[in-house]
Chain A
């Protein structure tokens, strides 16, 4: 009894410590983003409006936006905009970065979720097989596959996939006009909530190629992680013990090996989020996918510093929060993590 309460207490302490540790990380990230944006020459106004306005007007606009304020003042304003989850307003089209995240985030979420599903569906069984039959044909093949898929950037696999499947996947046809109320900003969910199953099918069809392209980027990591985990857990003493007790090899692998090899999958997932977000920027660009990454590139091309700063900040925060959540789940599953 006392033991369980002590354990839950240590979990709570772990969570609190982890949050406390994330605070300086977030601060450093914010400083980094801020500094990088200030190192870039000029300021958002001159960059975006330079040719269009005269010097006096530029100065007035700079003053109005606070870009002639001292740096610490600007940093304070930036911190405030982050704390209020507002992240500033873009210069080129006067959108709040928060609106961009809300309106375009759904598309990015759909894409990354699709990619993760693909990576898990392919990666987990292949990884387990490869680890089980180490150095056999299936292992060598899967290692080759994972190496090649890891080596191939999204912008190589995507056009090749488009060439191979372009005609049959409905990729060429535009998305049907959707007449569903916007509730979640996740198109596929909105369509499903409205009961428009034709639209759901159409969206799914359009989702396949981008998800596969992005998923191929991480499936190799899945396969390798699971393979190594299985190999290492099959070397464990408890596996020896199970074998010594006369448990059938099939059961040893399935019940003792697989299960323990799958626990780190959650960590893999977490580690891949950063990679997926980076890859999503490219994938969205290739497939004209209306996500945050595509917005980011648009704003970069317009040299809209505020928008870039805001979106990059959000990406950074998402990665920190997700890695924190992954640590929590790990601590919950594996008590050793807590100590």
Chain B
């Protein structure tokens, strides 16, 4: 077989002859995800779309924050008059003001901006590092694999918030608390998750016939990884990514709450605001903690719902056909019956 295809992809030429896995299959995985999303019904569909809408709103709020927020995140006066200190919500300050005379609404809106920045950075960092390491580890195996697995397992076993705290402590010690260091502290927590999942799928994909065929035809490891493994492995990533995005918001706020996150003068951050609000709560002030808190819950909820919806839709063990309810439990192999009935109905 290999002899009859002299133009096998030895080099970087993508215009090879029809291969066991044609070019269009590289993102076939993502297309399959989209098909599954469109097929989703019931609760998963509801979660998926609610999550998508909330996440989209969060992103819009973050992107257009300066246009939406009435004041800057560190503005404590307007037209020469200082804002009221700990002022209750009124017409001028819809969400009230803090002890530093800052407008809570503006800080909440700008907090979304900070959260989005850190979230995107953290997800991209961990995605790139985790997927790369996972692919290498799963494809090559050997001592590299063994060492990476040990280190990743150790990182994974660590209480994740504690890991972020220690990483935040270390990174902030090196470079001061900025958006980048906060994102890096969170990245450390997520790399093992991508690594594990990607390594596992790379391991199984490595044994697949089309990969074997590509190798037999002389494809270099870099080509095999890029063209054949990547597309198969990447399918498992969207669920983790959305879940991590949700988690990153909470972790960033946790760091900020403990004073290990972004410098409070650099950006508005929900966790820092909440740490300041604890004292207000003891004094009976509700607006400084309620609004940033609600904003955070809603943002996390959006990404969590999106991730869970995706998981329900994509995870075959959780998928359920709509018509399976009409089945009587008299059959011995219910699951097989489910599948056949499902296809018959479609």
Cβ contact of B174, chosen from A41, A166, A228, A323, cutoff 8 A:
A41
Decide: A282 and B161 in contact? CB cutoff 8 A. yes
Decide: B174 and A40 in contact? CB cutoff 8 A. yes
CB-CB nearest in chain B for A231: B318
Cβ contact of A281, chosen from B258, B296, B308, B317, cutoff 8 A:
B258
Q: Any chain A CB within 8 A of the CB of B259? A: yes
What is the 8 Å Cβ interface bit string for chain B, positions 271-309, against chain A (1 contact, 0 not)? 100110110011010100110010011001100110010
Q: Any chain A CB within 8 A of the CB of B67? A: no
CB-CB nearest in chain A for B153: A25
Q: Any chain B CB within 8 A of the CB of A65? A: no
Decide: A282 and B257 in contact? CB cutoff 8 A. yes
Decide: A155 and B167 in contact? CB cutoff 8 A. no
Tier of interface size on chain B:
35 or more
Decide: B286 and A155 in contact? CB cutoff 8 A. no
Cβ contact of B304, chosen from A135, A147, A156, A303, cutoff 8 A:
A147
CB-CB nearest in chain A for B271: A155
Decide: A159 and B281 in contact? CB cutoff 8 A. yes
Inter-chain contacts of B334 with A (CB < 8 A): 235, 240
Decide: B160 and A278 in contact? CB cutoff 8 A. yes
Inter-chain contacts of B290 with A (CB < 8 A): 160, 163
Q: Any chain B CB within 8 A of the CB of A20? A: no
* Contact A153:B159 (CB < 8 A) given known A40-B170, A235-B334, A285-B258: no
Decide: A278 and B161 in contact? CB cutoff 8 A. yes
Q: Which of A71-79, A83-91, A311-319 contacts B (4 or more CB under 8 A)?
A: A311-319
Q: Any chain A CB within 8 A of the CB of B157? A: yes
Cβ contact of A312, chosen from B153, B162, B296, B331, cutoff 8 A:
B162
Q: Any chain B CB within 8 A of the CB of A152? A: yes
Decide: A147 and B308 in contact? CB cutoff 8 A. yes
Q: Which of A28-36, A102-110, A118-126, A261-269 contacts B (4 or more CB under 8 A)?
A: A28-36
Decide: B169 and A300 in contact? CB cutoff 8 A. yes
Q: Any chain B CB within 8 A of the CB of A333? A: no
Inter-chain contacts of A1 with B (CB < 8 A): none
Cβ contact of A163, chosen from B42, B275, B286, B297, cutoff 8 A:
B286
* Contact A150:B304 (CB < 8 A) given known A156-B297, A282-B258: yes
* Contact A151:B155 (CB < 8 A) given known A42-B173, A279-B161, A300-B165: no
Q: Which of B32-40, B80-88, B246-254 contacts A (4 or more CB under 8 A)?
A: B246-254
CB-CB nearest in chain B for A249: B329
CB-CB nearest in chain A for B332: A240
Would you give the shortest CB distance from B276 to chain A, in whole angstroms?
11
- Cα distance, A320 to B156, chains bound together (Å): 11
Q: Any chain A CB within 8 A of the CB of B216? A: no
- Cα distance, A166 to B278, chains bound together (Å): 12
CB-CB nearest in chain A for B154: A28
Inter-chain contacts of A237 with B (CB < 8 A): 332
Inter-chain contacts of A147 with B (CB < 8 A): 301, 304-305, 308
Q: Any chain B CB within 8 A of the CB of A143? A: yes
Decide: A319 and B297 in contact? CB cutoff 8 A. no
- Cα distance, A297 to B286, chains bound together (Å): 26
Q: Any chain B CB within 8 A of the CB of A69? A: no
CB-CB nearest in chain B for A171: B282
- Cα distance, A314 to B200, chains bound together (Å): 31
Q: Any chain A CB within 8 A of the CB of B166? A: yes
Q: Any chain A CB within 8 A of the CB of B158? A: yes
CB-CB nearest in chain A for B246: A151
Decide: A323 and B157 in contact? CB cutoff 8 A. yes
Would you give the shortest CB distance from B285 to chain A, in whole angstroms?
9
* Contact A29:B165 (CB < 8 A) given known A235-B334, A274-B160: no
Inter-chain contacts of B282 with A (CB < 8 A): 162, 166, 172
Decide: A162 and B160 in contact? CB cutoff 8 A. no
* Contact A308:B166 (CB < 8 A) given known A41-B174, A315-B159: yes
What is the 8 Å Cβ interface bit string for chain A, positions 281-317, against chain B (1 contact, 0 not)? 1100110000000001100110100001000100110
Decide: A152 and B297 in contact? CB cutoff 8 A. yes
Inter-chain contacts of A296 with B (CB < 8 A): 165
Decide: B304 and A285 in contact? CB cutoff 8 A. no
- Cα distance, A235 to B329, chains bound together (Å): 10
- Cα distance, A281 to B153, chains bound together (Å): 22
Decide: A28 and B159 in contact? CB cutoff 8 A. no
CB-CB nearest in chain B for A47: B173
Inter-chain contacts of B274 with A (CB < 8 A): 155-156, 159
Would you give the shortest CB distance from B336 to chain A, in whole angstroms?
12
- Cα distance, A301 to B162, chains bound together (Å): 15
Q: Any chain A CB within 8 A of the CB of B53? A: no
Decide: B157 and A319 in contact? CB cutoff 8 A. yes
Inter-chain contacts of A153 with B (CB < 8 A): 250, 253-254, 296, 300
- Cα distance, A152 to B155, chains bound together (Å): 24
Inter-chain contacts of B42 with A (CB < 8 A): 135
Would you give the shortest CB distance from B183 to chain A, in whole angstroms?
17
Decide: A282 and B254 in contact? CB cutoff 8 A. yes
Decide: B173 and A41 in contact? CB cutoff 8 A. yes
What is the 8 Å Cβ interface bit string for chain B, positions 117-131, against chain A (1 contact, 0 not)? 000000000000000
- Cα distance, A244 to B333, chains bound together (Å): 12
Would you give the shortest CB distance from A116 to chain B, in whole angstroms?
15
Q: Any chain A CB within 8 A of the CB of B62? A: no
Decide: B257 and A151 in contact? CB cutoff 8 A. no
CB-CB nearest in chain A for B257: A155
Cβ contact of B281, chosen from A41, A135, A163, A243, cutoff 8 A:
A163
The 10 A-B pairs with the shortest beta carbon distances in the complex, nearest first, are A278-B161, A156-B293, A151-B300, A278-B159, A274-B159, A28-B154, A159-B289, A151-B301, A40-B173, A159-B281
Known: A151-B297, A153-B253, A315-B162. 14 other contacts (CB 8 A): A29-B158, A39-B170, A153-B250, A159-B274, A159-B281, A163-B284, A240-B331, A244-B330, A274-B157, A274-B159, A281-B161, A282-B257, A303-B173, A315-B159
Complex A-B: 20 CB contacts under 8 Å: A29-B158, A33-B166, A36-B167, A39-B170, A42-B173, A135-B42, A147-B304, A148-B297, A151-B246, A159-B281, A159-B293, A160-B290, A240-B334, A244-B330, A274-B157, A275-B161, A278-B161, A282-B258, A296-B165, A300-B169
